[in-house]
C-alpha cells in the first residue's frame, strides 16, 4: 500500500482521500481543528465539479442540502427596499449549478470518507523530512511517522506549502478585501431571502437558507493588503468592529451578535499563485495551491476538481510522484488560472467604490426586469462563469492500483464506469 498523508480535512482533502482510497492508496487526513469545521458561507458547485460529485455518487446528498435561495433584496440604511434580484441570477447560477452551505458540504464529504480513511483531528504537521523513499513527518501532538507522499490540502494559509517551499515562497496575491461570516441567532424575519446593504467600500449581507435554524451574516470590506493572523479570532473580531464602526442599517445589531459567535470566519480575499505546486514527494491541492478567493465563487469547485485530477493522475502513474504530480499540474493549471481570473472581475461588482456607483447599480437592478435585452445581460454575467467552470476535460477514473491489495476498496457506492 502507498501511504499518503493529507493535511487538511476541508473540501479538497476528503475528496482526495475518497479517490485515493478508491484507487487503492492508504490515505490519512490530519486536520488542525478538533472536529470537522462546519463554518462558512454558502458555496457554489458547478461545471466539472458536479461531474466529480456525480462520479462519487453524492449528487443527491448535495441536492438535498441545496440552500434553495429565492430572493436578494437590496436595502438602504433605514431598511427600505432599493431593488430586488432573483437569488440564482445574483449568484451567477444556472442549470444544475448547486449552492450549499460549506459546512453541509464538509459534513457530506467527511461522512463519505469516514470508512477506510484514517482521520487525525486536533493536530498539524510540524516538520517534513523527505528522504529517498518517503517523507518523515513530525506532528505537533502525534508520534512521528513516515509516509510515501504528503499532500497539502490545508487551505489558503497552508502549512505544508510553507514547510515544503519555504516561508519566503509567499505566493498570496491580495485582492485588497476581507470577508467575515458568522451565524446570527434567530430567523431575522427571513426565509430563503438575502438582504444586502451596500455602502462605499463595504457590503453587508444577512440571509437564511431553507430550513436553517439561524440566519448568517456576511461582511465584505476593502482593507489593506497586510496579512492578518488566521487563528486569532479576538483580533479578527476587533478588525471587523473597527471596519464597520458607525455604519447604519442592522450593522450594530449584527456586530453585537458577532461578539458571541463561536463559529466565526474571517479571511482576506487572496489568491495562491505558485510557479509549481509540487516538490519531490510533496504536492498541494485546492486553496493551498491555487486558492482563487471567495470572489471567484469557484474555491470549492476547484478544490473538488483538483483533488479528483490529482488522485487520478497518481493512480495512472502507479503512485510515482514525479510522473503523477507533473500530469496533475499539466491538466489542472490552465483550469485553475481561468477560474482565478474570475475574481478580479467579480470583486468590482461585490464592493462598490462610491455613492454614485451604488445609485447607478440600484437603478440598473430596478430597470432590469423591464429592459428588452434582459436575457442577454444576464448571460453576459453567467457565461464567463459557466465557461470557466467547464474549462477542463476530466480524465476517466483510473483503474485500481493492481499491485497494492486494492480489492478491499471495491464496493464503495459510486457508479464506476
Ligand X SMILES: Cc1cc2nc3c(=O)[nH]c(=O)nc-3n(C[C@H](O)[C@H](O)[C@H](O)COP(=O)(O)OP(=O)(O)OC[C@H]3O[C@@H](n4cnc5c(N)ncnc54)[C@H](O)[C@@H]3O)c2cc1C
Closer of 8 and 324 to ligand X (Cβ): 8
Cβ neighbors of 256 (< 8 A, separation 6 or more) are none
Query: Applying CB under 6 A, does 205 fall inside the site for ligand X?
Result: no
Cβ atoms within 10 Å of 262's Cβ, excluding its own: 8
Cβ neighbors of 269 (< 8 A, separation 6 or more) are 174, 175, 176, 177, 178, 179, 293, 294, 295, 343, 347
What's the order of all strands across the beta sheet hosting 145-147?
A: 125-131, 134-139, 145-147
**Residue whose Cβ sits closest to ligand X:** 10
CB of 363 to ligand X, least distance (A): 29
Runs of H (alpha helix) within 261-392: 287-290, 299-316, 321-350, 355-367, 374-389
Closer of 39 and 319 to ligand X (Cβ): 39
Kindly indicate which of the ranges 164-172, 284-292, 325-333, 388-396 contains the residues binding ligand X, using the contact rule CB under 6 A. 284-292
Closer of 47 and 401 to ligand X (Cβ): 47
Kindly indicate which of the ranges 5-13, 198-206, 274-282, 378-386 contains the residues binding ligand X, using the contact rule CB under 6 A. 5-13
Query: Applying CB under 6 A, does 110 fall inside the site for ligand X?
Result: no
Binding mask 32-51 for ligand X (x = CB under 6 A): xx---x-xxx-x--------
**Site for ligand X (CB under 6 A): which residue of 2, 4, 8, 19?**
8
* Stretch 330-359 residues interacting with ligand X (CB under 6 A): none
* Burial of 143 (C-beta count, 10 Å sphere; 0-12/13-18/19+): exposed
Smallest CA-to-CA distance from 158 within 309, 13, 313 is with 13
137 vs 123: CA distance, rounded Å: 12
Kindly indicate which of the ranges 81-89, 219-227, 292-300, 387-395 contains the residues binding ligand X, using the contact rule CB under 6 A. 292-300
**Site for ligand X (CB under 6 A): which residue of 4, 5, 6, 9?**
9
* Burial of 185 (C-beta count, 10 Å sphere; 0-12/13-18/19+): exposed
CB of 247 to ligand X, least distance (A): 21
Binding mask 239-278 for ligand X (x = CB under 6 A): --------------------------x-------------
**Site for ligand X (CB under 6 A): which residue of 4, 5, 6, 30?**
30
Closer of 16 and 75 to ligand X (Cβ): 16
301 vs 294: CA distance, rounded Å: 11
* # residues near ligand X by CB under 6 A: 32
- Let me know: does 34 contact 121? Beta carbons within 8 Å: yes
* Stretch 132-161 residues interacting with ligand X (CB under 6 A): 153-155, 159
Query: Applying CB under 6 A, does 300 fall inside the site for ligand X?
Result: yes
What are 107's three cell numbers?
A: 459534513
For cell 434580484, name the residue: 85
Site residues (CB under 6 A) for ligand X?
Answer: 7-13, 30-33, 37, 39-41, 43, 102, 124, 153-155, 159, 181, 265, 286-288, 291, 294, 299-300, 303
Amino acid at each position: 500500500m502507498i501511504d499518503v498523508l493529507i493535511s487538511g480535512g476541508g473540501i479538497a482533502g476528503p475528496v482526495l482521500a475518497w479517490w485515493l482510497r478508491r484507487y487503492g492508496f492508504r490515505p490519512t487526513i490530519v486536520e488542525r481543528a478538533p472536529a470537522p469545521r462546519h463554518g462558512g458561507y454558502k458555496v457554489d458547485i458547478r461545471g466539472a465539479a458536479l461531474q466529480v460529485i456525480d462520479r462519487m455518487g453524492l449528487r443527491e446528498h448535495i441536492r438535498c442540502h441545496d440552500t434553495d435561495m429565492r430572493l436578494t433584496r437590496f436595502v438602504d440604511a433605514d431598511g427600505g427596499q432599493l431593488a430586488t434580484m432573483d437569488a440564482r441570477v445574483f449568484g451567477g447560477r444556472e442549470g444544475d449549478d448547486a449552492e450549499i452551505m460549506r459546512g453541509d458540504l464538509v459534513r457530506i464529504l467527511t461522512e463519505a470518507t469516514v470508512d477506510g480513511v484514517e482521520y487525525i483531528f486536533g493536530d498539524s504537521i510540524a516538520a517534513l523530512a523527505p528522504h529517498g523513499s518517503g517523507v518523515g513527518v513530525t506532528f505537533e501532538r502525534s508520534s512521528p511517522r513516515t509516509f510515501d507522499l504528503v499532500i497539502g490540502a490545508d487551505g489558503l494559509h497552508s502549512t505544508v506549502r510553507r514547510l515544503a517551499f519555504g516561508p519566503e515562497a509567499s505566493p498570496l496575491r491580495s485582492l485588497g478585501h476581507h470577508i467575515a461570516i458568522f451565524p446570527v441567532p434567530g430567523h431575522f424575519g427571513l426565509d430563503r431571502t438575502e438582504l444586502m446593504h451596500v455602502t462605499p467600500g463595504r457590503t453587508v449581507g444577512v440571509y437564511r437558507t431553507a430550513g436553517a435554524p439561524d440566519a448568517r451574516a456576511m461582511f465584505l470590506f476593502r482593507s489593506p493588503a497586510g496579512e492578518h493572523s488566521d487563528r486569532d479570532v479576538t483580533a479578527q473580531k476587533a478588525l471587523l468592529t473597527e471596519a464597520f464602526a458607525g455604519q447604519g442599517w442592522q450593522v450594530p445589531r449584527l456586530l453585537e451578535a458577532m461578539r458571541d459567535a463561536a463559529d466565526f470566519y474571517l479571511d482576506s480575499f487572496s489568491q495562491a499563485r505558485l510557479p509549481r505546486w509540487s516538490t519531490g514527494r510533496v504536492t498541494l491541492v485546492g486553496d493551498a495551491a491555487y486558492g482563487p478567493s471567495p470572489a471567484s465563487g469557484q474555491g470549492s469547485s476547484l478544490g473538488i476538481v483538483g483533488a479528483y485530477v490529482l488522485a487520478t493522475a497518481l493512480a495512472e502513474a502507479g503512485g510515482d510522484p514525479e510522473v503523477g504530480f507533473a500530469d496533475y499540474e499539466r491538466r489542472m493549471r490552465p483550469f485553475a488560472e481561468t477560474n482565478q481570473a474570475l475574481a478580479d472581475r467579480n470583486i468590482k461588482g461585490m464592493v462598490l467604490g462610491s455613492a454614485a456607483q451604488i445609485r447607478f447599480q440600484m437603478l440598473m437592478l430596478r430597470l432590469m426586469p423591464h429592459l428588452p435585452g434582459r436575457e442577454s445581460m444576464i448571460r453576459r454575467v453567467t457565461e464567463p462563469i459557466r465557461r470557466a467552470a467547464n474549462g477542463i476535460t476530466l480524465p476517466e477514473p483510473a483503474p485500481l492500483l493492481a499491485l497494492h491489495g486494492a480489492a478491499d476498496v471495491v464496493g464503495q457506492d459510486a457508479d464506476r464506469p
